[in-house]
């Protein structure tokens, strides 16, 4: 058993401090960037109520507290993620809506990037010099082989879904009215997620061995979709006749 000399003690403490600083910076830097881009400009409008400044400051404090408690994941996630998000949401809700008129696409894109980095930063943080497979208790298994090879049709389905999702997101930027732009961006985001999920489901179904279904099963699967399409057609015809 080796003992540390007094000369090695400051080095060990400095290494531990540097390691904690690097680990905390993975959540601090993206959070500060997202907060600075999407929250600080709202407080800069100097509204009559002081509550936006209070909630914005509370968001920043929650972020730092959560980053300092990374050794306690439950408390860190509750304060650093949910506390930060709720405080930012309160700031947005307490700010007058006239700031939407000054929202430019570049700031919106930068804010979206900041929140993506914030979400990735609170994922599993990488650790300097740490490899999970080096743990003697790690149960290593042989390489998993795919059950079936991906077909070209599956890749085409994923590519079409990705292009469709990207197209819907790009079309939302054509909105000029601020009060409609937020709704269109939300609808485009939901449509993009639905298209990606649908393309992934189609790609997986194309890679599997097809099993023939009975006519009764085909009718039961198609019945809800036929009814939904019929309802949309009836609504469209009624709207056309009414106009």
String of DSSP letters for 39-108: THHHHTT--SSSHHHHHHHHHHHHHHHHHHTTTSHHHHHIIIIIIHHHHHHHHHHHS-GGGGGG--HHHH
Arithmetic mean of pLDDT, 75-83: 88
Q: What is the pLDDT of residues 65-76, one digit of tens each?
A: 988 888 888 888
Q: What is the pTM of this model?
A: 0.51
Q: What is the pLDDT of residues 162-220, one digit of tens each?
A: 898 888 888 878 777 776 777 777 778 888 888 888 888 888 777 776 667 777 877 88
Q: What is the pLDDT of residues 116-170, one digit of tens each?
A: 888 888 876 555 555 555 566 656 666 666 666 767 888 888 889 889 888 888 8
Composition of the chain by helix, strand, coil, percent to 5: 75, 0, 25
């Amino acid at each position: 058993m080796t003992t540390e000399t007094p000369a090695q003690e400051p080095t060990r403490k400095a290494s531990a401090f540097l390691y904690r600083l690097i680990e905390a910076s993975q959540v601090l830097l993206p959070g500060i960037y997202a907060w600075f881009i999407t929250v600080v400009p709202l407080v800069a409008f100097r509204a009559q109520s002081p509550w936006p400044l209070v909630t914005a400051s509370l968001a920043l404090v929650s972020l730092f507290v959560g980053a300092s408690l990374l050794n306690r994941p439950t408390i860190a996630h509750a304060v650093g993620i949910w506390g930060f998000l709720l405080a930012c949401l309160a700031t947005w809700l307490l700010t007058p809506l006239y700031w939407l008129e000054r929202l430019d696409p570049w700031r919106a894109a930068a804010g979206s990037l900041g929140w993506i980095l914030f979400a990735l930063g609170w994922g599993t943080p990488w650790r300097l010099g740490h490899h999970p497979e080096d743990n003697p208790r790690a149960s290593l298994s042989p390489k998993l082989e795919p059950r079936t090879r991906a077909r070209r049709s599956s890749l085409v389905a994923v590519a079409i879904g990705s292009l469709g999702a990207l197209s819907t997101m790009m079309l939302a930027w054509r909105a000029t009215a601020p009060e409609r732009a937020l709704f269109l961006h939300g609808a485009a985001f939901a449509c993009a997620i639905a298209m990606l999920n649908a393309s992934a489901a189609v790609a997986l179904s194309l890679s599997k061995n097809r099993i023939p279904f009975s006519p009764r099963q085909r009718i039961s699967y198609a019945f809800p979709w036929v009814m939904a399409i019929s309802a949309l057609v009836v609504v469209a015809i009624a709207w056309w006749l009414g106009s």
